[in-house]
Amino acid sequence: MRRVESDITAPRAPASASGEPSGTTRGHGLLPGAGGITVTPAARSRGAAKPSGTSGHCGGASGRTVEDRAPSDLIYDWNELEPRSCSLEPPAVVELNDETLRDGLQCPSVRQPSLREKQEFLRQLPTIGIGAADIGYAGASAAAFDDVVELAKTIGEAHLAIRPNCAGRTHVHDIDPIADAQQRSGVAIDAALFIGSSPIRQWVEGWSVSALVQTIEKAVSYAVHAGLEVMFVTEDTTRARREDIATMYLAAAGAGATRFCISDTVGQATPGGVQQVVHFLSGVLDDHGFGQAAIDWHGHRDRGLDVMNALAALAAGAKRVHGCALGIGERVGNTALDLVLVNVALLGWKNVDLLNLPTYCRLASEMTGVPIPRNYPVVGEDAFTTSTGVHAAAVAKAYDKGDAWLADRVYSAVPASLVGRHQEISIGPMSGKSNVLYWLRAHGFDPTPERMGAVLEAAKHASHVLDDAEATRIAESAVPARGEKGLLV
């Protein structure tokens, strides 16, 4: 099978300040298979047919504007391909890459954590089944480089079961710092080299696929010869054309990349679209002799589909998915890796102990200044609390049976015990006698009729759920029945 060859001695292509191709001509049309790569019939069938109206060209004549082009020229929509369905067959492999210390810190609202905070957070990852982490953008600044070196040393010295990686542009200015960090730390660091791929990005930048390919081949070859393992990443893969995806990833594979990441950079994809692009890339790599290569999925949550898309990617054959604690990241954030962990555990896809998941999320919140919403799934303060009468009655009856397993599931799809928590019953305007009875007993009060009535009456007239201090004050002030001492002993 044909492989893409790379001349490592060739001069580097000119690059813009962003590290990507410059000097390209807007008038260059890009034909399917540009760059000398043939997309085989098998690979085409995995990616299905193009949506109608999608052009095989990018760029435009000088003076043309975006209004001169059909939207389908600029955005290839994998979500429109048939069949528009998603299968959740259990994957053979589930690996996780934490992006909190790099992509997560691109959130416009975070504070930058100290090195000590980063190290404490990093130490949590192996305890909850996360085996890889992006430890920073080594080429961003001297301070960022120093942190990368120290974090890599932390991994090595503490023998943490984490494979570190650093993101960088397909440019020597970003590759050299990663290689230097690897040498100084004595710990292998993968280079996650990224470049834009979608027609809309090509149009804005004035790129041609041939220039992109030249940049990819030289950057990947340079990194490999610098002693780095390379994960090749295309930005905006989920809006890129099939022939461009094939051309770019095969160029990277031929130059020595061993892992390939699909990025849903703007949160465009639906689960069906995710599986279309994963199947397509897997087929292309397999057809050209790179069938053993690992595929990663990197998602964002602009449409709120981040967790489902990560599961869809794994089911389609991606070996590893990326995400951030609490879903923090640029704009509305990256895939919430904590929730991916919960779901792969509940689906039986990964045998993992999640008792430290609340600590992982708490540390992420504290070091970035991003609060955990009370109603955040699994680790939010309200995640396992009910104040509604009917729900509370069912939980209380399960506890009365002495069956903690039952109580943990009668009104919860996620067992609180999975993350070291327990079901709680509170008292509020929607509560009934079961709530009050359970609360009084749990807090050491004798549930006399007078006390039950006083607490329930106060709750029904409150504008909120009573906190423990309020409920305690009411319970203590209730007139006790004759002979009652007030508290259970």
Residues 24-72 pLDDT 10s: 333 323 223 333 344 444 444 444 434 333 333 333 434 555 555 556 6
> Of 368, 396, 411, which residue constitutes the final position of a domain?
368
Q: How far is CA 106 from CA 109, 110, 237, 264, 328, in A?
A: 9, 8, 20, 16, 8
pLDDT of residue 480: 60
Residues 269-295 pLDDT 10s: 999 999 999 999 999 999 999 999 999
Judge whether residue 486 has pLDDT over 90. Answer: no
- State whether 103 and 246 are in the same domain: yes
Number of structural domains the chain divides into: 2
Residues 85-106 pLDDT 10s: 899 999 999 999 999 999 999 9
- State whether 389 and 363 are in the same domain: no
- State whether 337 and 396 are in the same domain: no
Residues 103-162 pLDDT 10s: 999 999 999 999 999 999 999 999 999 999 999 999 999 999 999 999 999 999 999 999
Structure tokens at 200: 């809309």
Burial class (CB in 10 A: 0-12, 13-18, 19+), 78: buried
What is the C-alpha to C-alpha distance for residues 168 and 136, in angstroms, rounded to an integer?
Answer: 9
Q: At what angle do helices 433-442 and 449-460 cross, to 10 degrees?
A: 120
- State whether 359 and 404 are in the same domain: no
Judge whether residue 410 has pLDDT over 70. Answer: yes
Structure tokens at 35: 């760059």
Q: What is the dihedral of CA 174, 262, 81, 44, to 10 degrees?
A: 90
Kindly provide the residue ranges of all beta strands, DSSP E only, lying in 115-274, ordered along the sequence.
Answer: 132-134, 163-169, 190-196, 230-235, 259-263
- State whether 445 and 416 are in the same domain: yes
Q: How far is CA 475 from CA 439, 469, 481, in A?
A: 10, 10, 13
Within-domain flag for 199: yes
Beta bridge partners of 235: 196
Q: What is the dihedral of CA 405, 410, 415, 420, to 10 degrees?
A: -60
- State whether 130 and 197 are in the same domain: yes
Q: Using an 8 Å Cβ cutoff, are 65 and 35 in contact? A: no
- State whether 202 and 346 are in the same domain: yes
- State whether 183 and 315 are in the same domain: yes
- State whether 122 and 228 are in the same domain: yes
DSSP codes, 400-414: HTT-HHHHTTTT-SS
Range of the structural domain that residue 208 is part of: 95-368
- State whether 364 and 391 are in the same domain: no
- State whether 239 and 115 are in the same domain: yes
Within-domain flag for 101: yes
- State whether 197 and 248 are in the same domain: yes
What is the C-alpha to C-alpha distance for residues 453 and 475, in angstroms, rounded to an integer?
Answer: 10
Closest CA to 356 of 297, 407, 420: 420
